[in-house]
Amino acid sequence: MRILLVEDDIQTALLIESGLARSHTIVHVACGAEAIASARSGEFDVAILDRMLPDIDGLAVLDAWRSLDIRIPVLMLTALGTVADRVSGLEGGADDYLVKPFAMDELLARIAALNRRSIRDDPPTHYRVGDLSLDLLPRRVKRGGRDVHLQPREFDLLYQLMRNPGQAVTRKMFLASVWGIHFDPNTNIVDSHISRLRAKLRHGGSDPIETLQGVGYRLRVDA
């Protein structure tokens, strides 16, 4: 996909570019004014926007885009990591918020999730991947036509995986979307819950969830 990267630090920009270049096309601009102008072309699928730019605040760029009716999904990148900063970023209209320093895998996973979100204006209530199906209303999961009884949090985890089939979902993304927490607990609670979810889904069949070492999990599309 085509990504607009707004970042004033050249070294950071180069590193992000080289990290993303394998799977995406990157256009890099270094200031807010340029960012506002570039996005008008409408050729980008996702924007990565640094919060602190030399000319204007990243939030102001976001504001300008939204008032110009540029509906590009925005991942805000920032060195400001307090709760208040994150809240102001999300309230300012960012679709996601990633605090520097971050792992490249985290950035990749979040960009993929963002793009998916932007494609659907009206999120579906029914998902089907391979022989797995998930209904949000009522909350029900089936594998190969057979009901699988999941705990509420196991259901939420699977929902995140099924929204992003074949894509990595990181532990941080699970923590934020399933438990609403934005810090990393020292105990690996995601792994323990996933292992229970796995056991219930497998139940005699193949394992539909793939572990990405040091990153997170991915739902096999061919499951």
Partner 1 sequence: MRELWRSAAYRLAFGYTALCAVAVLATGFAVYYAASAMVWRDFDHAITEEVTGLKREYGEGGLPDLMDALTRHARRPGNPYRYALFDRGGGVVVRQSSLPDAVPGWSEARLEPSGQPSWHARFFAERLPDGETLIVAGDTSELDRLRDRLFGALAIGFIIILGLGAAGTILFGRHLRRRLETISTTAEAIMAGDLRQRVSVGPSGDEFDRAGASLNAMLDRIAQLVENLRQVSSDVAHDLRTPLQRLRSAIENGLSGTQDIVPLRDALELALGQSDAMLALFEAILRICEVETSGLRDRFEPVDIAALVRRVCEMYGPAIEDGGRTLACDSEGAVLVLGDRELLIQMTTNLLDNALLHTPEGTEVTVSTQHGGACARLIIADTGPGVPERDRDRITQRFVRLDRARTTTGHGLGLNLVAAITAAHHGQLVIEDNYPGLRATISLPIVDEASRVVSSGSTSCITMNIVDPPQGSQEQG
Q: Does 142 bind partner 1 (CB under 8 A)?
A: no
Burial class (CB in 10 A: 0-12, 13-18, 19+), 27: middle
Place of tokens 């309230």: 91
Task: Determine the interface stretch with partner 1 among 1-9, 20-28, 105-113, 190-198 (rule: CB under 8 A).
Answer: 190-198
Give the nearer residue to partner 1 in terms of CB position, either 63 or 105.
105
Q: Which of 11, 69, 91, 101 binds partner 1 (CB under 8 A)?
A: 101
Q: Does 1 bind partner 1 (CB under 8 A)?
A: no
> How far is the C-alpha of 201 from the C-alpha of 221, rounded, in Å?
15
Task: Determine the interface stretch with partner 1 among 15-23, 66-74, 79-87, 118-126 (rule: CB under 8 A).
Answer: 79-87
- Give the residue from 21, 180, 167, 47 showing the smallest Cα distance to 106: 167
> How far is the C-alpha of 156 from the C-alpha of 158, rounded, in Å?
5
Q: Which of 2, 126, 182, 203 binds partner 1 (CB under 8 A)?
A: 182
Task: Determine the interface stretch with partner 1 among 12-20, 159-167, 173-181, 204-212 (rule: CB under 8 A).
Answer: 173-181
Give the list of residues 6+ apart from residue 37 with CB closer than 8 angstroms, or none: none
Q: Does 180 bind partner 1 (CB under 8 A)?
A: yes
Least distance from C-beta 140 to partner 1, angstroms?
Answer: 20
Total residues interacting with partner 1, rule: CB under 8 A: 25
> How far is the C-alpha of 58 from the C-alpha of 70, rounded, in Å?
15
